[in-house]
Amino acid sequence: MGKGLVVILSGASSVGKGPLRERLLADKDLNLSYSISMTTRQPKANEVEGKDYFFVSHRDFAEAVKNREFLEYTEFNGYYYGTPRKQVEDLVVDGKNVLIEVEAQGVGALKLNLPEAVAFFVMPESFEELEKQIQELYHDDQASVERRLNKAKMEMELAALFNHVVSNNDPEQSEKQIKEVLLKEMEKNR
């Protein structure tokens, strides 16, 4: 059995990475396992420990940083998020393909730690469309809208760090584009 492939999925804030991730994980041809991130924020009502995130205290997160247990980590809105190194390495050694969904600023550290990873950046149809989507999602919190818009602008500038840029104006087409690339990479990995 060969080593698994590491797939990085990122994109502008609120561009629709989550639904695209779910489509890719459901595709049996890709044999993808999801890398569960660690976070210091509290779980939302529908989130499950060990499925959506590993929820930890700030102290535990800081200890993991000190012990170099993350492939990358970042802060957003006062909370920390990180990709656990051991989880990803164990899955890859077991021959599993691993999907890591990460903030765009985390791709640099991931590519340094995992240079063979295939990285995809999901781009919005247009910034105006993205702005409309963010306004709809966070309409009751203008400060959050502004933070996310500024973050999205910065993230879009990082798209050049990725192997592949995919437009998300048609989720089915986006999934198809990513799948084509991954099947070729999987073939090379055999």
Cβ atoms of 57 and 63 closer than 8 Å: no
Nearest 5 degrees, angle CA 62-CA 66-CA 72? 80
Task: Mark 65-89 as b/e (b = at least 16 C-beta within 10 Å).
Answer: eeeebbbbbbeeeeebbbbbbebbb
Specify if 178 maps to a domain: yes
Q: What is the percent of the chain where pLDDT is above 70?
A: 99
CATH number for position 123: 3.40.50.300
Specify if 121 maps to a domain: yes
pLDDT score of 157: 87
86-95, 148-157, 171-180: which range is least confident on average?
A: 148-157
Specify if 1 maps to a domain: no
Specify if 48 maps to a domain: yes
| 96-111 mean pLDDT | 90
| 93-119 mean pLDDT | 91
In this predicted model, which residue has the larger pLDDT, 14 or 185? 185
Cβ atoms of 25 and 117 closer than 8 Å: no
Domain residue limits at 50: 6-189
Specify if 71 maps to a domain: yes
Rounded Cα gap, residues 140 and 64, in angstroms: 35
Judge whether residue 1 has pLDDT over 70: no
Domain count, the chain: 1
